[in-house]
Chains A and B, each alone.
Chain A
Amino acid sequence: MTRAGRTGAGVTRPGFAWAAPAAVFFLLFAIVPLLLVAVLSFTSWDGITDPRFNGLDNWTGLAHDPVMLQSVGTTLLLTVLGVVTQTPISILLGVWAAGHQRNRAVLSAIYFVPLLLSATAVSVVWRAVLDPNFGVPSQAGWLFGDGNLLGTRAGAIGVLTFVGVWQFTPLHALIYQGGARAIPQVLYQAAAVDGAGTVRQFFHITLPQLRNTVITSMVLMVVGGLTTFDTVLILTQGGPGTDTTVSAYYMYQKAFKGFDFGAGSAIALVLVVVATLISLAVVRLSGYDRMRSSAEGL
């Protein structure tokens, strides 16, 4: 008797049919477009006339395009900066929000606000706040110098990272809050009996117990970072020059501003491959794929 089909408790395992709606949806809206884009990447298409096959032209073009290489670098840089800055802040906030302090609910609600705003609105607001002549930098020269934040590569990347933290930390804090709430209280009680203080409890109980949550949150951050688009579109338009032209924005420029959909499709494919490799790497290196489900019987 194999294990398949039945478990010890006599409960039937869910059949594949349950996954059919999702599978069809996935096929229609992910796999089919992906294949179409793969085909388009070997064509020259302006969106008006019929696509014309041009072999590897788009790909060799990209390989010799310094902006493409730079855009992959900028995308990775922004992704790494996002993970490095958002993770510690959201763990601290999330663990804090999982407790029962006074005013916690009110403050948590306030922290959550940035997530409710659209990225477009957020970007417009930060643009105004960071205006060198009429925004905060004009009042705080000691901190911002001449205030040319979005006019230099370092400044623009700093602003994009900061806006990312401001906007997405609430989401990840929420995930960590859930994770922290799921840690059995007996662990803390036992630790307290043994004389461990808050800090020790945090490093020896909370953090190890949050391991799965960290990976979930990081995969989300990596995917979000690799597909960064709206804030770049509104805050920097890829500038100054091409300094913040991330791959997703470069794809948009090629396809929708330059009407070169073939080259745009090739960039899209590069993004798909890079994102797949990175998230596979995150899952492998973290040992996430070897973890067992904690739901009983599955």
Chain B
Amino acid sequence: MSPRFVAVAATTALLLGMATACSSGGTSADGGSGTIHVMVYGDATNKVEKQIVETFNKTSKVKVVLDTVPGADYQQKLQTVINTPQAPDVFFNWGGGSIQPFVKADLLLPLDGFIAQDPGLKDNFLPSVFNSAVVDGKPYGVPMRGTQPVLLFHNKKVLADAGITPPKTWDELVADAKALKAKGVTPIALGGADQWPTLMWFEYLYDRIAGPGLFQRALGGDPAAWAGEDSRAALAKLKELVDAGAFGTTYDSVKFTDGGSPALVAKGKAAFELMGSWYYSTQQDANPDFARTGLGYTGFPTVAGGKGDAADVVGNTNNFYSVLKKTKHPEAAAAFLKLMYSDEFVKAQLAIGNLPTTTNTANFLDTAASPEYSKYQYELVKAAPSFQLSWDQAYPPSAITPIHVAVQQFFNGKLDADGFIKAMQALSTS
């Protein structure tokens, strides 16, 4: 009984993956019949994608078919179909490491050709965003949807009660944390059980202290970057904040994804939370009154003596559309991509609260769901000399788990600076 049980449980999934990957006998009837498939992450934003596809199909001979895959299954589905006849012509991704394996497998079309014919495919997007889908010097994606910089959010009332203002420098943040703790408030809410929120603190501190170069060097295959003085300085500062009790003691039992840490801030039990710009709509969903009147936001504080520009941001630069090399209608794909900087696209995204990263976005900011918030973000991203893609997305997928484990263990004291550096050095960059 038991071998069968285990075998079934442990291997059906593997087999399914293989069956899908190997079933090359499927019919690809769409090849010559004048359609291209666009595969996207299935969620509320599909509303805009459907609209754009309709617009495109009105004038184009080659029709676009939109395939929405439920979000939780998107990565697995993409991975299993991308090298089969069922592969989409154009697909949604996160840029960086998320497309690197596909580039390595020579499945993607470099977009230089498209851009040579229409320079707008590059020039109409904010450069810091466009660059995060550049792999080995070649562009492989055009930004779509909205940008998600990470901001430092706070509860205005909690700060006022403690007599403090949003911190501009790291030292102020540490001082604020001590003041808040003395008042019995958890200074910083953190969904440590999700692990990626913890990672955001590393991303910003490394950028502020060492500048974007350190991470780029490491990602480029130079593990020595992790062992330098700047790296140790960043880790020491983080340790100092953790040890001061800034995150409380229970952060690893709290999740962001189930509303745990946002509730701490909304209910005044915690003062700050470092989170992607979707935080606003998260709070708007769960605590509309708080989002309207009580939620404040600033950029990440500066760090004295750091080499990084205080205007740098980190987060998800945007999502991207990439094109498969074997598409039968590259010209239709190119024409479809052009819609990603159209006025219609920008207005539709803003209307649902997303912030597109095109140069014409500024013209329509007044039509956004929350104009003030959208403007703040837009200026922040536009002015940023560097927009660091989240580490776990910049690295190839095999590094995701080791990165998450390392940041969590550094916070809870299981890894010291040497251990963390060793863990990061062991990551595979290709």
- Evaluate contact between A134 and B10: CB separation under 8 angstroms: no
The reply to whether B263 and A133 contact each other, CB–CB distance below 8 Å, is: yes
| CB atoms of A48 and B412 under 8 A apart | no
CA distance A240 to B407 in the complex (A): 10
Cross-chain contact B2 with A148 (CB below 8 angstroms): no
A37-B14, A227-B6 are known contacts. Are A134 and B253 too (CB-CB below 8 A)?
no
Asked if A158 is at the interface (CB within 8 A of a chain B CB), the reply is no
Question: By the criterion CB–CB under 8 Å, are A36 and B3 in contact?
Answer: no
Say yes or no for B397: interface residue by CB 8 A criterion: yes
Q: Are B102 and A226 in contact, with the CB atoms below 8 A? A: no
A239 partner, pick from B2, B6, B18, B195, beta carbons under 8 A:
B195
- Once A241-B405, A241-B414, A242-B405 are accepted as A-B contacts, the answer to whether A33 and B11 lie under 8 Å apart by CB is yes
B379 at the interface (CB under 8 A from A): no
A272 contacts B10, CB within 8 Å? yes
Indicate whether A239 sits within 8 Å of B14 (C-beta atoms), given known contacts A151-B412, A223-B6, A256-B76. Answer: no
Residue of A nearest to B14 (CB): A37
Interface size on A (CB < 8 Å)? 63
Please tell me if B269 contacts chain A, counting CB pairs below 8 Å. yes
The residues of B that contact A240 with a CB separation of less than 8 Å are 192-193, 252, 408-409, 412, 414
Q: How far is the CB of A151 from chain B (nearest CB, A)?
A: 3
B8 within 8 A of A: yes
Q: How many angstroms from the CA of A124 to the CA of B1 in the assembled complex?
A: 30
24 contacts between A and B (CB under 8 A): A29-B12, A32-B15, A37-B15, A48-B102, A131-B260, A132-B250, A133-B254, A148-B249, A148-B250, A150-B252, A151-B250, A227-B6, A227-B9, A238-B405, A240-B412, A242-B405, A255-B13, A256-B76, A258-B397, A259-B101, A268-B14, A272-B7, A276-B3, A279-B1
List B contacts of A176 (CB < 8 A).
none
Q: Is the CB of B6 within 8 A of A275?
A: yes
Known: A47-B80, A48-B79, A48-B83. A223 touches B1 (CB 8 A): yes
CB neighbors of B among A18-47 (8 A) = 26, 29-34, 36-37, 40, 46-47
9 more A-B contacts (CB under 8 A) besides A147-B250, A251-B10? A33-B7, A33-B11, A37-B15, A237-B195, A252-B13, A253-B401, A261-B17, A264-B14, A272-B6
User: Which residues in A have some Cβ–Cβ distance to B below 8 Å?
Assistant: 26, 29-34, 36-37, 40, 46-49, 124, 127-128, 130-134, 146-152, 155, 219, 222-223, 226-227, 229, 236-242, 248, 251-253, 255-261, 264-265, 268, 271-272, 275-276, 278-279
Rounded to whole Å, the gap between the CB of B106 and the closest CB of chain A is: 9
Complexed CA–CA distance, A242 and B195 (Å): 12
The answer to whether A36 and B11 have CB atoms under 8 Å apart is: yes
CA distance A112 to B41 in the complex (A): 39
Which one of B4, B10, B193 contacts A151 once the chains associate, using CB atoms below 8 Å? B193
Q: Tell me, yes or no, whether B400 is within 8 Å of chain A by CB.
A: yes
| Contact for B253 among A46, A48, A151, CB less than 8 A | A151
CB distance from B26 to the nearest CB of A (A): 17
User: How many of chain B's residues touch chain A, expressed as a range?
Assistant: 35 or more
Inter-chain contact A151/B252, CB cutoff 8 Å? yes
Please state if A265 and B3 are interface contacts (CB–CB under 8 Å).
Answer: no
B interface residues, Cβ below 8 angstroms from A: 1-15, 17-18, 21, 76, 79-80, 82-83, 101-102, 105, 107, 192-195, 249-255, 258, 260, 263-264, 269, 397-401, 405, 408-409, 412, 414
Task: Decide: B10 and A148 in contact? CB cutoff 8 A.
Answer: no
In the complex, what residues of B have CB within 8 A of residue A278's CB? Answer: 2
Q: Which residues of A contact B253 (CB under 8 A)?
A: 130-132, 147-151, 155
Q: A48-B83, A261-B14, A264-B14 are in contact. Are A148 and B4 (CB under 8 A)?
A: no
* Ranked 3 nearest A-B pairs via Cβ: A151-B252, A279-B2, A132-B250
Taking CB as reference atom, which chain A residue is nearest B249? A146
CA distance A123 to B14 in the complex (A): 24
Tell me the complex Cα distance, A229–B12, Å: 14
A147 to B6, CA, bound (A): 35
Chain B residues near A127: list those with CB within 8 A: 255, 258
A256 to B14, CA, bound (A): 9
Contacts of B17 in A (CB 8 A): 47, 255, 261
Q: How far is the CB of A175 from chain B (nearest CB, A)?
A: 14
Which residues of A sit under 8 angstroms from B405, Cβ to Cβ?
238-239, 241-242
Given known A151-B252, A276-B2, contact A258–B9 (CB-CB < 8 A): no
B249 — which chain A residues lie within 8 A by C-beta?
146, 148
Whether B1 pairs with A36 at a CB distance below 8 angstroms is: no
Which A residues are CB-close (under 8 A) to B107?
Answer: 48
Query: Are B10 and A258 in contact (CB-based, < 8 A)?
Result: no
CB nearest neighbor in B for A274: B6
**A48 near B8: Cβ-Cβ < 8 Å:** no
Q: Which residues of A contact B252 (CB under 8 A)?
A: 148, 150-152, 239-240
Q: In the docked arrangement, what's the CA distance between A37 and B15, Å?
A: 8
Q: Given A150-B252, A151-B251, A240-B252, decide whether A36 and B15 contact each other with a Cβ distance below 8 A.
A: yes
Residue of B3, B9, B11 with highest tally of chain A CB at under 10 A: B11
On whether the beta carbons of A271 and B10 are closer than 8 Å, the reply is: yes
Given A37-B11, A223-B2, A227-B10: A259 in contact with B409 (beta carbons within 8 A): no
Q: When the two chains form their complex, are residues B401 and A258 in contact, meaning their CB atoms are under 8 A apart?
A: yes
Docked Cα-Cα span, A87 to B11, in Å, equals: 29
